[in-house]
Structure 1
Amino acid sequence: MTSRGRTRRSRTDRSDMPKDFSHTEVDDQVLLSDAGTARCRWIVSRRRFGQFVICGERVRPGSSYCDDHHTRVWRPTHDGRRKAT
């Protein structure tokens, strides 16, 4: 036990992990931390502090967003130039 009353687990203790690693739940939501550079970073919702759910679709070349969200971020202004919103 530690000084705070909690038991200390070793790093190799995996007793709380599932036994069957071949079965995973299908989750259509992608976390921002899992996006990498090939996934759209448009934030859909927030699960809890610091953990965001993003769009996760493939990005448009040269952008951080998919085609749909890229057009929402970069839209033409009244003079025809593109401006970030």
Structure 2
Amino acid sequence: MLSDYVHRAIAQAVYDKLEDGTFVGRIPACQGVVAFGLTLGECEDELRSTLEDWILLGLKLGHELPVIDSIDLNKEPSLEPMNTL
């Protein structure tokens, strides 16, 4: 579920080439998730890493995360009884 969330969020990323030839990427639905890179590929890698950190910190702090393509990480996890394993 987490991998799907990251994959789908990255698919919504917007990239721009800056005047100095470097790149900036952001995910509009994920406020504050921005990354820079010398190449587009490097920028995408940095954006993925930034997004992963942002998600983990948000979950730890109890922040409301945006729903991405119907994936809602804000739901309380349901636990299965141990005897069902």
* TM-score tier after normalising by the smaller chain length: under 0.3
Q: Comparing both structures, which one devotes a greater share of its residues to strand?
A: 1
Larger Rg: 1
The TM-score, its normalising length taken from structure 2, stands at 0.22
Q: Which has the higher contact order (CA 8 A, sep 6+)?
A: 2
The TM-score, its normalising length taken from structure 1, stands at 0.22
Q: Comparing both structures, which one devotes a greater share of its residues to helix?
A: 2
